[in-house]
Amino acid sequence: MSKDKDYAFLTHDQVPALDALKHHCEAMFERQKETVLAATKAPHSLFSYNKTPDGPEVVQVDEMRPIVDFLCHPDLVSMAVDYIGEMPVLGNICLWYSRTGSERLGPQNIHRDMNCKRQLHVVIPIRPIDQGTGPFTFWPGDKSCEVIEKINHFYGRFEDDEFFNLAGRDQMIPFTSERGAALAINPYACFHFGGRAETTPRFVLICSYTSRFENAEEGLGTYRLVNRGRFSDGSSLRRKLLNL
């Protein structure tokens, strides 16, 4: 993965057990279908959390466990180690459903994820993505860096017209299905947006590996102390990824 571009498209063969992962996510959707389709907020998360004194506690532990298994595959961990430069920890696991025609909110506007400089997202469309599905769309790291340095960016989201004055529309890259089976990207280094579904709802899994030495204690994530012990299987690799 290029460390100046800060992204890479992955083929089906480069993503271990991808078909089983998609089947699991589709089964989750079917079990929650009525609630998901009735949701008024977009995008809608298929994972929910209870508030506890120790932080948000994931409700669907058994549903999340196969995704944690997937993220612990040595091939994916090796990719994250090579890019981040250390053994990372698991950050957020988000399974998003974006219905069509919704009001544009939060991550649907152009932004960077400012919680952690050294991190890696793995973006996996569960269903085919085209332009009408609202693909995860980004500017490569080198193009984003030019904007960051130009305006000294350290927070905030942008409306399209405002950002297109800083980085050309022709420089953005939509992650549609023909580009690959998954996208590995640093969302801190790359400006991005997604979930602007117009003709077809978007169903996508977005997971993150983060540096254990930065702001890895995500607001809603497997790394929260209240959650991480519940996903351990005792293996050395998983204990490292969960920082146990």
Distance CA 83, CA 3 (A): 7
77-125 pLDDT, tens per residue?
999 999 999 999 998 899 999 988 766 666 788 999 988 899 999 999 9
Domain 7-241 listed as CATH 3.40.50.11810: no
Cβ within 8 Å of residue 60, ≥6 positions away? 28, 46, 47, 48
d(CA 165, CA 176): 24
pLDDT single digits (tens) 123-143: 999 999 999 999 999 999 999
Q: Where are the domains of the chain?
A: 7-241
Distance CA 74, CA 16 (A): 9
pTM: 0.93
